Structure 1
């Protein structure tokens, strides 16, 4: 499965905006869209204590009962997932996006990501249910080698974006990739650095402007990278934040650690994590 947008749905409040953002990206990139529902392998049994059965043969009885309960739970979760997929497909169909592939996967997160192959963009919600998609954001960003768009609980077509630039080689590569992406076509782009090099920031702005992207550069201050980024986004009407998931600066250390969840909690805007 290559060059597609994958929308990860789990029935949480983020499910509808995940579909809407995925449809937005699919139209601009002019590539197919697939909906994915994940059934993760659960190491916790549905019933942990059936010791009310006493007797020599109770162990065999309990084992059989557990097998029946686990089988029924799996069947119900699979049926629930199919309902979620069909409901999402209907939402997209009503929005004029009729050609959608429905996928349901079962297994560990790394197995599922490997099985999906070389996809173009993965879209998932910031808040999820107990299902793995939406609740294992850092793991997905680490394991998935392609851009990941993490969205809030409501959809707003992006019109003004902010790219968090750190001057690293990886950040410059991501900047060059953005000049080729249809996602930025017609949008205003704020390129920002937190306590960075003003000259490097201006050079980055010129790269975007040369590609006919309306770009503004802003050198931000603040002791916290997250606070500085979120404040600038709020003050300037930003509705999409782009940043590298891995780099070689304070941004790299910031986004690989547990502070990723802090950033997700602080900003109400969608985050496009570039790899």
Structure 2
């Protein structure tokens, strides 16, 4: 199968944003679009233990009832998912995608995406899923697990679409972020979009030459590019630069060799993702 833009949808408030960003990416990359919905037939609920305190006489009957309820719940979840996929498909067609595909699977989101990984060129996901806590800074545990297990670019999106007009890459000279700069330079996704490169650290000769390389790579590919080296706490510095320059898409490596290395395996990236009100493209 051709590598495609894959979008994971559920009943959360982020699904519309996922649809629109996925359609934008599919059109820009000229790649097929597939929407995926996963029905988890084994949600973690307290109900599984209900039969433990029932008298012997009624226990068998109760287990039958619970089994029947589970079956009904699975059917309802499947039908809801089918309707969501149809709505997502219709929305993507309105956005201009010719033939979006849909796939419904049983299991867990992480396992499903791991199985489909070879087909994925870009994965689009919402900031959190429908079962996640609704606090604005809560990051769905599924998202963290997906980022750890997948080796594909992942675009985490907010609930409303805004066409990216200025992109920033958090750059630390690592292999991952150097590949990120090269990807930015050549990807049709960012064609004609001004690019900013930010190094968080001391203004040393090494950092200066890293920045010069990144800017030259972007400019040679035809991008308008500017950058800076700023000292400070990583997340605060990234946020301040984003606000100053009206950045509306951030590119980050999930792993690096500096303080930015803590992105996602430590507190910094998780914190950036939690507070993000714009899309974040995570690179592996």
- The answer to whether structure 1 residue 73 and structure 2 residue 82 are counterparts is no
Q: So what's the TM-score if we normalise by structure 2? A: 0.89
Q: 1:60 to 1:227 in 2, by over 3 A?
A: same
Give the match for residue 151 of structure 1: 157
Give the match for residue 257 of structure 2: 248
- The answer to whether structure 1 residue 172 and structure 2 residue 173 are counterparts is no
Give the match for residue 194 of structure 1: 200
Q: Deviations over 1:75-119 (max 9, x none)?
A: 111111111111111212222224111111121344212321321
- Correspondent of 2:228 among 206, 210, 218: 218
- The answer to whether structure 1 residue 209 and structure 2 residue 219 are counterparts is yes
Q: 1:178 and 1:33 mapped to 2: Cα distance?
A: 21
Aligned residues: 272
Q: 2:267 and 2:47 mapped to 1: Cα distance?
A: 30
Give the match for residue 125 of structure 1: 126
Q: 1:201 and 1:248 mapped to 2: Cα distance?
A: 16
Q: CA deviation at 1:70?
A: 0.9
Give the match for residue 135 of structure 2: none
* 256-265 or 82-91: bigger deviation: 256-265
Q: Deviations over 1:252-271 (max 9, x none)?
A: 12332244332123221110
Q: 2:217 and 2:68 mapped to 1: Cα distance?
A: 61
Q: So what's the TM-score if we normalise by structure 1? A: 0.92
* 97-106 or 168-177: bigger deviation: 168-177
Q: 1:122 and 1:134 mapped to 2: Cα distance?
A: 16
8 Å CA contact 1:46–1:70 kept in 2: the answer is no
Q: 1:251 and 1:144 mapped to 2: Cα distance?
A: 19
8 Å CA contact 1:120–1:147 kept in 2: the answer is yes
Give the match for residue 15 of structure 1: 15
Counterpart secondary structure, 1:59: helix
* 237-246 or 109-118: bigger deviation: 109-118
Q: 1:271 to 1:101 in 2, by over 3 A?
A: same
Q: CA deviation at 1:170?
A: 2.4
Q: CA deviation at 1:15?
A: 0.7
Q: 2:274 and 2:254 mapped to 1: Cα distance?
A: 17
- Correspondent of 2:272 among 249, 263, 267: 263
Q: 1:201 to 1:50 in 2, by over 3 A?
A: same
Q: 1:20 to 1:135 in 2, by over 3 A?
A: farther
Superposition pairs of residues 28-177 of structure 1, within 5 angstroms: 28-40=28-40, 41-44=42-45, 46=47, 48-50=49-51, 54=55, 56-118=56-118, 119-130=120-131, 135-177=141-183
Q: 2:165 and 2:47 mapped to 1: Cα distance?
A: 46
Counterpart secondary structure, 2:229: strand
8 Å CA contact 1:46–1:69 kept in 2: the answer is no
Q: Which ranges in structure 1 are unaligned for 5 or more consecutive residues?
A: none
Q: 1:46 to 1:87 in 2, by over 3 A?
A: farther
Q: 1:259 and 1:206 mapped to 2: Cα distance?
A: 28
Alpha-carbon RMSD across the aligned residues, in angstroms, is 2.0
Flag the structure with higher helix content.
2
